[in-house]
Amino acid sequence: MERFLHGRTALVTGSTSGIGLAIARALAAAGARVAINGLGTAAQIDAALASVAAAGGEARHVDADLRDPGAIAAMMATVQDAGALDVLVNCAGIQHAAPLAEQPASRWDDILAINLSAAFHTMQQALPGMAARGYGRVVNIASVHGLVASRDKAPYVASKFGLVGLSKVAALEYAAAGSRDTGGVTVNCVCPGWVETPLIEPQIQAHRNGGDRDKGVRALLEEKQPSLRMSLPEDIAAMVVWLCRPEAHNLTGTALPMDGGWTAQ
């Protein structure tokens, strides 16, 4: 792997597990110093740090419950005190599938706070410095559910549509920052369909209908994803790394589906 991010610093929220952890590893392999964030036991966080370091970079964990704007401000100060933040990936996210009438208000609040408001707070604190230095990449991990809806996911879909809109506004405001030589400042969303991570396990189990786990996976895919195969976290990570490349300087304000044809229908 070409280490084109050597000397750059990255923060990936929600990177103690799943897609975020794969992104942290891929950025480290591309040479970045990576700050990971996310919940977990000390052992889980240590294992995540070790795997990012093994991928080839310096890694640290920055603690913050992203429901708390004060904790986000402290996290951003810690990361930016240690050096300029060049790459910000907002990946933390939670889900709660239930009909609208049965969604607890507290779940709505948590999903909006983690999936959407946290990205507003991190971007607000990261983008001015990126613009001043002429290079910056914000990649927000939205979802196909930032582009189309599914039933039983009111707070999740609302948060992901919001994240796509927020990213487009930021892309416009920072489009002219920097130059082709410095790399510019871009803001994009990646919109995955089904990806094999712990987040979707409850939905796989709910689709088993008395069969095994494979039956649950098949049922989920047949419902929405024409490729009939899930993505791996590493597939999403490869797209994020590419968005950080210098030649991606003019790719901004987009919401890129990686969904096996889900949103082509």
| Among the listed residues 5, 34, 38, 184, the single contact to ligand NAD using CB under 6 A | 38
Q: Is 155 helix (H, G, I), strand (E, B) or coil?
A: helix
Q: Between 135 and 194, name the residue whose CB sits nearer to ligand NAD.
A: 194
| Among the listed residues 20, 56, 57, 260, the single contact to ligand NAD using CB under 6 A | 20
Find the catalytic residue in 18, 76, 156, 195: 156
CA distance 55 to 29: 5
Tokens of 240: 């994020």
Q: Which stretch binds ligand NAD (CB under 6 A): 72-80, 194-202, 220-228, 246-254?
A: 194-202
Q: Which stretch binds ligand NAD (CB under 6 A): 4-12, 63-71, 74-82, 240-248?
A: 63-71
Q: Between 80 and 263, name the residue whose CB sits nearer to ligand NAD.
A: 263
Instruction: Based on the residue annotation, tell me whether 135 is a catalytic residue of this protein.
Output: no
Q: Is 254 helix (H, G, I), strand (E, B) or coil?
A: coil
- Residues in 139-158 at the binding interface with ligand NAD, rule: CB under 6 A: 141, 143
Length of the chain: 265
What single-letter amino acid sits at 62? V
Tokens of 24: 């942290």
SS3 sequence of 195-246? ECCHHHHHHHHHCCCCCCHHHHHHHHHHHHCCCCCCECHHHHHHHHHHHCCH
Q: Between 175 and 232, name the residue whose CB sits nearer to ligand NAD.
A: 232
CB 193 within 8 A of CB 149: no
| Among the listed residues 93, 136, 178, 216, the single contact to ligand NAD using CB under 6 A | 93
* Minimum distance of ligand NAD from residue 93's CB (angstroms): 2
Q: Strand 255-258's sheet: what is its strand order?
A: 59-61, 33-36, 9-12, 87-90, 135-141, 184-192, 255-258
> How far is CA 6 from each of CA 9, 56, 79, 147, 227, rounded to the nearest angstrom?
9, 11, 17, 34, 36
- Residues in 205-264 at the binding interface with ligand NAD, rule: CB under 6 A: none
Contact flags string 162-181 toward ligand NAD, x per CB under 6 A: --------------------
* Minimum distance of ligand NAD from residue 39's CB (angstroms): 4
Instruction: Name 212's Cβ contacts closer than 8 Å, sequence gap at least 6.
Output: none
Catalytic annotation, residues: 156
- Residues within the interface to ligand NAD (CB under 6 A): 14-20, 38-40, 65-67, 91-94, 114-115, 141, 143, 192, 194-195, 197-200
